Structure 1
Amino acid sequence: MIRVLFAAGDSRWDDWKSPLRTAFAEAGLDCDLAQHHEPSQVDIIVYAPNVPLQDFRPYTNARAVLNIWAGVEGIVGNETLTQPLARMVDPGLTEGMVEYVCGHVLRHHLGIDTQITGQDGVWKPQVPPLARDRAVTILGLGELGGACATALVQLGFPVTGWSRSQKDIAGIRCLSGDDGLTKALKTAQILVCLLPLTPDTTDILGSAAFGHLPAGAVLINPGRGGLIVERDLMAALETGHIAHATLDTFRTEPLPQDHPFWSHPGVTVTPHIASETRPATAAPVIAENVRRAMADEPILHLVDREKGY
């Protein structure tokens, strides 16, 4: 019997218990999935960082902590966590992010906001350029960023991608390093940020970075709120150097009602919905990692503690 502790929050239990039990059964795993187990008897912890469990020292026999989110910035620095930590990479999460990014890139590329709200009965035939003439840059070329970049290329956009470590993705101009970041920003008519939040990426988008963007660029951030210096973004919006920002993640969530992003005409707020971990598609990923952990095989999507993701 494999004792699996579901430590991802009471509010998620009803949505997750059935898909997990089904995935365990289909994988041939005899699992006792519960919200409460004696800590010393727990084999696997299914986890979300915003829960009461923050001290992992009692879980002396746990073979892995399996995060249900892609982001691990809320747990990776926990010094009591000595067990292997895996982040979530699953098809549903990737598909959702691709749909969000492509939808909003096309929205800004085609000028759909103006068509919906800004015509005022005046015939204004403003024809957008073809996708081939609208340069897109994606910061972050991990599972999500790479998938989004590939999808945008298939739509005809020339895509530049930047990551801290050099990547090689077919059809994408891949850059890395500080010089590469500057080059990537300078061509970004539409900038999409999908970087993980680490000490190296916190505040990476501030006045210096915004200054490298072409005048009138658009920013789309479904990554992490801490990547952006908010006052610098507001300043760039006020001057028009950034024409619009579509933001899905914020330093404080929910975004406070008095936050200036809500009322700024150059900002679109979406409530952290770019992509959600869906139990139906994520449960088989967790089941596979449970199988691997119990068989002493390499765990998928293992977090590099030094890199922070």
Structure 2
Amino acid sequence: MLITKEWLQQKGACGGGTRWFNDHFPEGGEYQTVLDALASENRAGYAQWLIQHAGRTNDVLEIQGDFKGSSLFFRGHIRITGHLSVEFHLLAGWGIEAGSGIKAGEGIKAGSGIKAGEGIKAGWGIEAGEGIKAGEGIKAGSGIKAGEGIKAGWGIEAGEGIKAGWGIEAGSGIKAGWGIEAGWGIEAGSGIKAGEGIKAGSGIKAGEGIKAGWGIEAGEGIKAGEGIKAGSGIEAGEGIKAGWGIKAGWGIEAGEGIEAGSGIKAGWGIEAGEDFGIYAGLSLRISQKAAYALVIAKELPKNILLGIFKQLL
């Protein structure tokens, strides 16, 4: 496909992009050749615009071994047998797949999926139209976003938010400076921590603790090997279960039972599902129950089957 000045004008290209193109391709330029020139100058914004308007192709860029460069922009699929590393931006019209790791000093963006045999790391954000999968960890300086699922053999960490259309799963921890949101479930081998809220269409499960600066919400159950703590409310369509304590700045509400190894505390009310119980202090010794097996709320909850109620003044 030949890109021309007239084509850019027809598509409504900005003045800066049109001037850059005229300086570099006064007679017009082949689609991928233009992307290569943009990559040589690390102009990711112009490259994203071009792929969006010229369209993704089924071409495949196959690289044997490792690749290391400044930026890499391709209109179709990128497949590499080794490690893929760029100093600035990595951009593909369709998917990116590497036999080992993928690393970008700034952003990584793919029209479909991103898959690495080892880790995926970006100084800025990571974004995929479909899923993101890494044999090791996934780490981004800003956000991580996938149209489908996000899965890592090790941990997932983002300086900003983590969002998936499907589920989020990590072999170790999940950590976000902002919120964590999944259309399906969220599961971590160790802890889950978010500076803002945590929300899942189905369940939330952590081998260690779950902590959110704002609320925690699950369409199904919430389960943590250690404690559960939210700056605002905790809400689950099914049960809530913590190996340690449960604490919410606002209310705690579950469609089924609420169970804590230690105490349960809410700034507002605590409510379990109809015909389900509230259990505090399940992991405590008998001698510790008077001090730690407390259910603290503004009003007495129904169905306290284990624990001592203490009214919050």
> TM-score band (shorter)?
under 0.3
More strand by share: 2
Q: TM-score, normalised by structure 1?
A: 0.24
Q: Higher Cα Rg: structure 1 or 2?
A: 2
More helix by share: 1
Q: TM-score, normalised by structure 2?
A: 0.23
